[in-house]
Amino acid sequence: MQSAVLIEHLTKSYGSLQALQNVSLDVKEGEFFGLLGPNGAGKTTLISILAGLCRPDSGRAFVMGTNVQTNFIEARRLLGVVPQELVFDPFFTVRETLRFQSGYFGIRNNDDWIDEIMTHLDLTSKANSNMRSLSGGMKRRVLVAQALVHRPPVIVLDEPTAGVDVELRQSLWKFISRLNQDGHTILLTTHYLEEAESLCGRIAMLKSGQVVALDTTQNLLARYGAHKVQAGQEADLEDVFIQIMAGE
Amino acid sequence: MPIPFEYGSSFPTLLRKEIKRFYKVAFQTVAAPVLTAVLYLMIFGHVLEGRLVVYDKLTYTAFLIPGLVMMSVLQNAFANTSSSLIQSKITGNLVFILLAPLTHLEFYSAYVLAAVFRGVVVGLGVLLITLFFDVPAMQNPVWILLFAFMGAAILGGLGLIAGIWADKFDQLAAFQNFLIMPATMLSGVFYSIHSLPEIWQFISHLNPFFYMIDGFRYGFFGVSDVSPWLSLTIVSVFFLVVSGLALRLLQSGYKLRH
């Protein structure tokens, strides 16, 4: 199977801070892949390099076989990114925002798809509302919609459910899961480990800029949760995460 | 699997967005600078009419109008790119443009053309209102349009550079207040440099903004302080330098991509 995201020996530092140290990953097409780690582990730096927001000191990154640095135009068309920060342009309505985002990718007359995204994200009633007037949860939905307007084969979600209510989380995951079933590759970072456990087929854990664990969710649970299972309890990803981060 | 789209250029959308951005706050971005220019005309025109000798048979108010129009074009072209970029950087929404498959040339062209558009709209507004005070001749409209476009493009490019360089609003304000404002005010908007002492005439010749104003004024009256061809040459070189620098900054990702 083709690699949707291929990362080879990425290294990045900000001054004396080593954000990524020789990180390599291979996310296959159609996977729902989790990238976990504590704050400052390097997750956002890794995503920023993939998205072209940040340049690595060394190493290479590919999206659907396209080098994100040497062929950035094509690579960006193949990638949809939901940024972590709740950012928006206060001059425009939701529909204008999505039309502009679509146009930035060179796509015109995209209203059918924009309407479909808005329906799935419960944004239709807010289509003509100014971005400033939206609640935090609604703004988060627009961020997700913006990442999807060009129907990218690879979707990167950088903590998409941070600070949003249960209802949105459920509708968002339902929609993202459907996109994954349709063949989109999903790369997710989140601090909600139960979400990662239920959604991700494979997980990589980063700590201090290094990959410290990489396996299927089932294998991680089996390996690190065995003692809980033996004690008659159910293993969960939180235990796994704590053990790995503690270096056990 | 996802259905591939027919991809076009990102440029028209970014241009439309930049124009729509200032149009949505037109009271602040168009009406206010027109009012400022009219106030300049009323005050300076009233105080200096009959006291300053400019070109032969030319009233001071008629002399002043093209200068004010061009000053408005330049300052608003600068304001458009610089304010848009610094706002997008500070609020973080620049990420949507940085994530898009835009070349640095598309980025530059869209921002600068939107700046030219705003500069010309404000300039036209100033010109229309000032016609109530005096009607300057328009002997060479091609020169008028050429210098208006080149001047606005240069200031749009400078605004882009300032917006990229500045991390905070006060840094941008410093760029505007200590560089752009003095250079435009001391470029011969309010006087012919022939009325200045020699040393100040020499210093004025070092100011590229002087050639923009002087060439633009030549389009109205057919007379100018220096040859319009010299002005055009200097303005063209300045345009190439500013554009080259802005494009280089965009290509390198300076202060935009880490």
Bridge partners (DSSP) listed for residue A13: A18
Judged by CB atoms closer than 8 Å, whether chains meet at B93 and A183 is answered as no
Residue B17 lies in a domain: no
State the Rg of chain A over Cα: 18
Are the C-beta atoms of A23 and A7 separated by less than 8 Å? yes
DSSP state of A93: B
Query: Cα distance from B105 to chain A (closest Cα, Å)?
Result: 13
Compute the mean pLDDT over every residue in chain B, rounded to the nearest whole number.
91
Question: Which residue type sits at A189?
Answer: T
Q: Check whether A239 has a pLDDT greater than 90.
A: no
Segment B114-127 mean pLDDT? 96
Query: Using CB atoms, which residue from A76, A83, A106 is nearest to B95?
Result: A83
Q: Are strands A79-82 and A154-158 parallel, antiparallel or unpaired?
A: parallel
Q: For residue B240, count other CB atoms closer than 10 A to its CB.
A: 12
Domains of chain A, by residue range, sit at 3-245
State the Rg of chain B over Cα: 19
Residue B1 lies in a domain: no
Bridge partners (DSSP) listed for residue A204: A35, A214
Within 13 A of B53's CA, how many CA atoms are on the CB side?
4
Strand, helix or coil for residue A156 = strand
CA distance A28 to A141: 26
When divided into structural domains, chain B yields a total of 1
Segment B146-165 mean pLDDT? 97
Segment B153-178 mean pLDDT? 95
Q: Token digits for A68?
A: 């994100």
Choose among A180, A105, A90: nearest CA to A139. Answer: A90
With 0-12 / 13-18 / 19 or more C-beta atoms within 10 angstroms meaning exposed / middle / buried, residue A89 is buried
Measured CA to CA in angstroms, residue B144 lies from B35, B61, B82, B232 at distances of 22, 18, 25, 11
Measured CA to CA in angstroms, residue A118 lies from A95, A138, B54, B135, B188 at distances of 9, 11, 63, 54, 55
Q: Check whether B2 has a pLDDT greater than 60.
A: no
Query: Using CB atoms, which residue from A81, A151, A184 is nearest to B5?
Result: A151
Cβ contacts of A96 on chain B, cutoff 8 Å: 20
Are the C-beta atoms of B148 and B216 separated by less than 8 Å? yes
Residue B169 lies in a domain: yes
Segment B146-168 mean pLDDT? 96
Residue B220 lies in a domain: yes
Select the residue from B3, B5, B252 to test the A interface by mutation, using most A Cβ atoms within 10 A: B5
Residues A110-135: tens digit of each pLDDT: 999 999 999 988 899 999 999 999 98
CATH (residue range A3-245): 3.40.50.300
ipTM surpassing 0.85: yes
The boundaries of the domain holding residue B163 are: 32-252
Q: Check whether A223 has a pLDDT greater than 60.
A: yes
By percentage, how much of chain B surpasses pLDDT 90?
A: 69
Q: Check whether A159 has a pLDDT greater than 70.
A: yes
Residues A3-49: tens digit of each pLDDT: 999 999 999 999 889 999 999 999 999 999 999 999 888 999 999 99
By percentage, how much of chain A surpasses pLDDT 70?
A: 99
Query: Cα distance from A96 to chain B (closest Cα, Å)?
Result: 9
pLDDT at B112: 98
Using an 8 Å CB-CB cutoff, list residues of chain B that contact chain A. Answer: 1-3, 5-10, 12-14, 16-17, 20-21, 24-25, 88, 91-93, 95-103, 253, 257-258
Residue of B nearest to A99 (CA): B13
Task: pLDDT band for A248, please (50, 70, 90 cuts).
Answer: low
pLDDT at B4: 53
